[in-house]
Structure 1
Amino acid sequence: MITISGPNADQIQYWNEVGGPKWVSLHDVISAQLRPLGALAMDRAGIAAGERVLDVGCGIGDTTIELGRRVGPSGAVVGVDVSAPMLDRARAAAQAAGAANVAFEDADAQTAALPGPFDVLYSRFGVMFFADPAAAFANLRKALRRGARLAFVCWRSLQENPWLLVPTQTAGRHVPLPQADPHAPGPFALADAARVGDVLSRAGFVRVHCEPIDQELSVAGGRSLDETVDFLLKMGPASAALREANAAPELVERVRADLREAIAPHAGPEGVRMGSAVWVVTAAAE
């Protein structure tokens, strides 16, 4: 585990003590839910055999392993994350998959000197947590060759993502919702396309393009209605609101009942399907 210090100390602590362990325990559910969106960004990156790829915020390593498959044995992929629990899971998964061309770095991508040069910078929901995004992307730019490609996927606003908005509003009827700075590190820090363009331009990237993708998401990867409710109370803004309010168990159960009622109309043979909205961001290193 890296030292809990520097501009992203709060995030390092959170992803080692709270977020990371939760993600590891729910990795099958989360991966099934996010895999289609991550694949969109991967496709836009145009990964080729023999390339070197940097996977930022690699988490449990499923994207890193898939990138390794795409670059083949002549290529290489390095996944970087601040969460030791998630990286432990990633290394075990890579070993089990026989992914000899991938490696993992326990490091803060905003400040660490990363091994390069890379041909591609990729991320699936891993770049929204920097204290200073422009500084982070400038640091990442140093690890890329000139002309290298960037492709990542990030959430648009909470209001555009019903799968997150409905649980948040449901929790908000029972506990106060935190009033955070919309640009603060968190899931929606890069929801503003104009800000994304400014951040990347200042960091040394050109031809920045934010492609809006709106599609139904299999919440909790297609699990049952009750499993989906449980998942939404463990991860995301509703979970954070209940945790910060130190909600008593009986209050959580009332939220659970209300949330089940709210999302039940979206349940079907393929699980709970609700709207999602992301940016698939592409650019080139100047």
Structure 2
Amino acid sequence: MDNSAQEDFWNGDQGRRWADLSPELDAHHLPVTGILMARAGQVQGHTVLDVGCGQGALTEALWQAGARVTGLDLSSALLARARRHLPAEVTLLRQDVTEYRPEASFDLVISQFGVMFFADDVEGFADLRRITRPGGRLIFASWSGAEHNPWFSVPRRLAVDRLGDVPGDPDAPGPFRLRDIDRTCEILRTAGWFGVSGRAVDLHLTPAGSLAEVADFATRLGGASAVIRQRGGGEADRQAVAADVAEAFAPYATSEGVLVPARINLFEARA
């Protein structure tokens, strides 16, 4: 499987931008991390692989729960961030999971938005099964459709309103690749997993900061950022879109911070 496009993306300007914004991303995804940890349950002493570990928020939670954790990611910049706050006993590898050949299999393979980027989904999930011990578990979160996730849809729409549309394919490797629960469950079964289940979970994302800071963050990654970049927009355009996002997100501002409604898909299976 050729994942070279993802290799280039995560080690280019976009990957470095994700690394620079890693504290904001950790806060943003904290509820998802909590859901995954709850589903993982008792992991003390277990060998766990965190696929697409990024800056290591989920990896750290697993280590604190007593697991023996290996984190895999394609991005050198994100792994460098992870290494700054993770102990030496946590293994971090810049590795394409489809080419990973560990010495032993894992009790649990887990991922927070890290498995939507395979060039071939069946092959990718078959590779994950190959490195999971018999009876071991797979747990991962992916995004539901954009229509259920204003964090993605609203900034992109406002950027398009200002600068014009750009082509996009939700079935390409990216955040919405696994939005269809039934289709994803079938992919997992075809890849050799059993006991497959998937369900939608509604929650609130918790980006840190004021409404203006959250809106600014929403234009630096994701759909709005892609539209601005591909349409040749400048900093003035980004700031204008951010102002529009702040207005659109105003109903989400609460005394506890900006709480953005979201829907994820949660999948579980066994090897």
TM-score with structure 1 setting the length: 0.90
Residue 256 of structure 1 is matched in structure 2 by 242
Structure 2 CA distance for aligned equivalents of residues 60 and 260 of structure 1: 27
How has the CA–CA distance of structure 1 residues 115 and 226 changed in structure 2, closer, same or farther, with 3 Å as cutoff?
A: farther
Matched, 1:124 2:124: no
Deviation, structure 1 residue 143: 0.8
Inter-partner Cα distance in structure 1 for 2:141 and 2:49: 14
State the number of aligned residues: 271
Matched, 1:167 2:155: yes
The corresponding residue for 1:3 is none
| Residues 33 and 112 in structure 2, CA contact (< 8 A), matched pair in contact too | yes
How far apart, in 1, do the equivalents of 2:249 and 2:19 lie?
Answer: 25
Question: Displacement, 1:27?
Answer: 1.4
Once the two structures are superposed, residues 174-233 of structure 1 have per-residue CA deviations (whole angstroms, 9 ceiling, x without a partner) of 223333232210011110112211211111111111121112222x23x10111111001
Call closer, same or farther: CA 1:20–1:168 in 2, change over 3 Å. Answer: same
1:45, 1:282 within 8 Å by CA — same for their partners in 2?
no
Could you tell me which of 8, 32, 36 is aligned with 1:13? 8
1:36 maps to 31
Q: Distance in 2 between matches of 1:234 and 1:115?
A: 39
Q: Which of 135, 154, 159 in structure 1 is aligned with 2:123? A: 135
- Of residues 30, 51, 65, the one that matches 2:60 is 65
Matches within 5 A, 1:181-192: 181-192=169-180
What amino acid is the match of 2:228? L
Matched, 1:147 2:135: yes
Q: Report the RMSD for the aligned CA atoms in angstroms.
A: 1.6
Kept in 1: contact 2:140–2:266 (CA 8 A): yes
User: In structure 2, which of residues 82, 90, 94 is the aligned counterpart of residue 90 of structure 1?
Assistant: 82
Contact 2:151–2:262 under 8 Å retained in 1: yes
Q: How many Å separate the matches in 2 of 1:115 and 1:197?
A: 28
1:284 — aligned with what? 270
AA paired with 1:41? Answer: L
Does 2:182 match 1:194?
A: yes
* Mapping 1:97-116, distance limit 5 Å: 99-116=87-104
Counterpart amino acid of residue 24 in structure 1: A
Number of the residue aligned with 2:229: 243
Partner of 1:266: 252
Quick one: which of 200, 215, 219 aligns to 2:203? 215
Aligned position for 1:50: 45
| Counterpart-to-counterpart distance in 2, 1:274 and 1:64 | 24
Displacement of 1:162 after TM fit?
1.7
Structure 2 spans left out of the alignment, 5+ residues: none
Distance 1:128 1:91 in 2: 24
CA distance in 2, matches of 1:214, 1:113: 36
Counterpart code for 1:34: H
Give the AA of the match of 1:108: D
Deviation for aligned residue 1:88: 1.1
1:116 shift after superposition: 2.7
Equivalent residues of 1:171, 1:241 under 8 A apart: yes
Residue 205 of structure 1 is aligned with which of 183, 189, 193?
A: 193
Out of 122-131 and 169-178, give the one that drifted further: 169-178
